[in-house]
Every structure is written in structure tokens, then in C-alpha cells.
Chains A and B, each alone.
Chain A
Amino acid sequence: MPRSRVDELLEGWKMVSHSAERPIEAPRPRGSRSSLPLGLVAAAAIAIALIIALSGGDPAVAFGALVEGAFGSVDSLSEVAVKSCPLLLAGLAIAVSFQAGVWNIGVEGQLLMGALTMAALGTHNLPLPAGLTLAVYLVAAAAAGAGWAGIAGQLKLRRNVNEVISTIMLNFMALGLISYLVQGPLMEAAGRYPQTDAVTAALWMPRLVLGHRAHLGLLLALVIAAGTHVLLYRSILGYEMRASGLNIAAARLAGIDVDRRLLLAMTLSGALAGLAGGIEVSAVTHRLYERFSPGWGFTAIAVGLLGRLSPAGVVVAAFFFGALDAGSNAMQRAAGVSSVLVSVIQAIVILSLVALERGRWLPGGRRAAAPETPAPR
């Protein structure tokens, strides 16, 4: 009996499919997936304890004071909130841009432009309820940050200028501009110190608890963090931005308007940074001066990377860095350890992250990311 066509095909199928070879190794994702690498923090803590001991302090006392200074009382908790707020927003700015593969190192400058806007506008009242005026000014601060970032974005798209260079340069320009303004046109009316006049008291960000510095800005930042999460992981726009960051060529091939997504990521990042500056002026300093920012825009890069560029991770990382900041003075008082050591702690955390993780958190460094974060329907 002649073999039927079906049998022949099935035999062929068997021959072919059974010729496939099993891969040598079982598939495994390349990075661990926890949002805050606790193991690293622990390893860093051990290294730091050694440094404290070497510098003549008692690590246990120092750590105790650090924790006490950050979480020991309502007042210290409030300080953590105050310190975390700009880091959180600036960290989100990093997350948004880095996820889209846009290396915005200019968060510092964009934050300063937002602060400048708030300080300049805040001495004037609008014929509106104070709350509404504040909202308008915050939007203006965000717009200023977005515009500042937009310069770098446009330069990249039109002239192919590397955004790392242009954003760093724009940082210096923002610093110089503020330095000039607070000593010139925007200098306080009293004319004594190089700082702006205080923002009208009606436009001060409301505080959460009377008598403590923690302010509404933190809640706002948390809401924005949730919004950023939705944007990045639950919207098509965010999906396309992340796709552009993971593999720009593939994203372009898939029909994504990569240029506009990159510009959007850059602008959005700048807006978040500008908002951070605006909130800080309205809620904490009430005025602008040179050295207004202790480098939030740069610490934010560490916050973003430690938080694995996810909004939830950034929230945790921002509180972690905020707590370090708030606790550092207590540590200095109690253990006689320089509060600068906190910068060392932050640096060690970041260095161990870089050394041990080999860039897995960066876009393109995570091949396992695709199945974890499916496309929105």
C-alpha cells in the first residue's frame, strides 16, 4: 500500500522537529527582580560600619543615631518627608527619561528653573483664590523645567547633539542665570543678601501637621509617582517610550514615532524636575538663592537607579535617601561621625549597585523585561 501524503508529511515533521537540540542551559532571567536590592544595601552597611570603626567611631552608636534621627519622633519623620520630596520627584524625572533611553543629566538645572519660576512669580498675586494661584504657579514651574529640558531635546532631534553633554551644560547655564538674577534683577528689596524676596505667605504650600515642616508637596509627589507608574506601565504612550529605550531600532521598525517619544520623555522629565523645584520654594525655602539645591538633581540619578527606574522603586529609594539625609545630623551629634559620611554611604550604595549589577537596570540591559511587562491592551 503506497504511503499517503499525510503520512509522508507527518514523518517529515517528526524527523525535522526531533532534530532540534536542547539549549545547553536552562533559561534564566539576567537580573533579580526585587525593586530595591536589599542585599546590596546590607553589603554597603557592612562596608560603612568598617569605615566608621576605622575613623574612630562606634558603628552601632552611629547607626542607632542615624535611625533615631530619621524615625525617632514625629519631627524627624517630618524631616524625612521634607528631604524625600524633591528626591522623589527628581528621581521620577530620571526614571521617565532613562526608561525611554534619554540620558537626562540635567535634572538639576531643570529643577532650578522650576524654582526660579516659582520664586519670581510667587511675589505676585493673581486675582484668583490662593490655592488656585499656587496651582497655576506650580504648573508654570513644571513648564519651565520642561522648557529647559526641551532645549536639550530639540538639540538632540534636530542637530543630533548628545543629550548628556547638552543637559550638563544647561545645568551650568541655569546655575549662572540664577547667580546673576539673585544678585541683580531679582535680588531682595532690602538689598542685603543675594536672594529673592520671600514668596507671598498665601502661596506657601500647606503643611500636613501643624508645627512640622512636612508639607502637602509630598502627597502630591506620591500621587504623581502613581500617575507615572500608570503612564509607563499601563498606557500605550508609556509602552512606546519604554520600547524606544529598550531598543530604539526595533521600536522604530515597529512603527513607533521614536523621535516624538524621546522628546516627550525629555520634556516630561524636565516638568517633574521643575515641579520639584517649584514645590521646594513654595513649601520649604520660600525664596531662591545660590546653592539652593544641595545637588538633588544628581542624587536623583542615584535614587532612580537604586529604584531600578520604576516609580514604586523610586518612592522607596527616595525615602531611603531622605532618611539618610535626615538622620545624618543626629549621627554626627551622637557618634561624632562627620555627617559627610552619609554621602559616603550613598556613594557606597551606588558603587556596589554598579559593581555588582553590571548595568542590568538600564534599558537594553534587561532582556527578561519583555515578558514581565506585557503590552497594554
Chain B
Amino acid sequence: MAAVQGTDLRYERAFEEHWDDVFRFSLAWTNDWAAAEDLAQDAYLRLWQHRADLDWDRPALPWLLVAARRLATDRFRSMRRRILPRSADASIDEAVRVRWLDVRAAMSNLSALERSALVLTAVEGWSYAEVATALGTTDGALRAAVSRARLKLEVA
């Protein structure tokens, strides 16, 4: 029982410490506010389901990011995004909505990899090694993606 409660506490802590990162990562990957909220939510549900067989001594964030990225490629999810009318990003603050629409439009010219690579290194300030792990790619490919992303945005 004590072990179960310990796991619960760790889950709570993982939620408090990493939620923002998981959400921002999902936002960079999908460029879609509502989808990012869904993904972050589902990634945590995955973590909850696997809480018993997880090595909690290792950091939870990389696990969550990989889970979010895999969930994003879920067939049903992409299908749902295609058929449902784009939600009004209900939870986004009215004041930033206009700015977001502008940024999202520009960012939509990038691939998920390029966008994530650029945003996570340049905005979030994560190390290249961290980002490469989360995106499941190599250091070289990541650097190439970042410069490609900058180039595309400058031209646009």
C-alpha cells in the first residue's frame, strides 16, 4: 500500500513538474492548441497506466515526450482531426488568440520535426541532446532541421 501511495505521489510530482513541457512539446509537434492539450492529457494517462512497471528513478519527462509523440501518430487521432471542425481553441486566452493565429499560420509551413526542433531549442532552451531524444532523431539531423526551419521562416 505504501508503495502504491509512493507511486501516486511521484505521478503527481511528474504532473506538476512536467505538464508545461509536455504541453509545449505537443504544441510544437502538432501546431494545434486543442490537439496539444489532448496529447498532454493522454500522455499522462499512459504514464498512469504504466506507473506500476516504470523505473521511477529515471526522469519521467523523456518518457512522457516519447509517449506524446507516439500518441500523435495514432491513426484515430489523425482521422478525428481531419473530420471534426477545427475547435475554437476554447482554453486559449482571448488576448493572445490573434497572436497565436499569426504564429500558427507561419509555423504551419514547417514539418512537425522542423517546428519542434526550432521551438524547443530556440524558445524553450533545451539542449540538442534532449531534443534529439524526444524527437527520436540524431544530433546531426536535428541541427539540419533547425537551420531548415529558420530558412523557411525567413523566406516566408
Residues of A within 8 A of B (CB): 4-6, 9-10, 12-23, 26-29, 33, 250, 253-255, 368, 370-372, 374-375, 377
Instruction: Give, as a whole number of angstroms, the nearest-CB distance from B58 to chain A.
Output: 19
Give the CA-CA distance A27 to B15 in the complex, in Å. 8
> Does chain A have a CB within 8 A of B55?
no
Q: In the bound complex, what is the Cα–Cα distance between A300 and B84 (angstroms)?
A: 38
B interface, CB within 8 angstroms of A: 11-12, 15-16, 19-20, 23-24, 27-28, 37, 41-42, 44-46, 48-49, 71, 74-76, 79-80, 83-84, 91-93, 96, 99-100, 102-103, 106-107, 118-119, 122-123, 150, 153-154, 156
Task: Please report the C-alpha to C-alpha distance between residue A4 and residue B150 in the assembled complex, in whole angstroms.
Answer: 10
Which of chain B's residues have a CB closer than 8 A to the CB of A12? 99-100, 102-103
Q: Is the CB of B71 within 8 A of A4?
A: no
A360, chain B: closest CB distance, angstroms: 15
When the two chains form their complex, are residues A253 and B83 in contact, meaning their CB atoms are under 8 A apart? yes
Closest approach, in angstroms, between the C-beta of B99 and any C-beta of chain A?
A: 5
* Residue contact B119 to A10, C-beta cutoff 8 Å: yes
For B153, give its contact among A5, A27, A255 (CB under 8 Å): A5
Contact B123 A13 (CB under 8 A): yes
Q: In the complex, are the beta carbons of B122 and A17 less than 8 A apart?
A: no
The docked-state distance in angstroms from the alpha carbon of A15 to that of B76 is 31
What CA separation (Å) do A23 and B107 show in the bound complex? 26
Partner of A22, one of B20, B75, B80: B20
Complex: chain B residue closest to A243, CB-CB = B76
Query: Which A-B residue pairs are the 9 nearest by beta carbons?
Result: A26-B15, A12-B103, A27-B44, A16-B100, A22-B19, A6-B153, A14-B123, A375-B76, A17-B24
Bound complex: CA A14 to CA B118 (Å) = 12
Is B123 a contact of A27 with CB atoms below 8 Å?
no
Which of A9, A33, A374 is the one whose CB lies under 8 Å from B103?
A: A9
- A5-B154 in contact given A19-B96, A253-B83 (Cβ < 8 Å): yes
Picked from B23, B42, B106, the residue with its CB within 8 Å of the CB of A371 is: B42
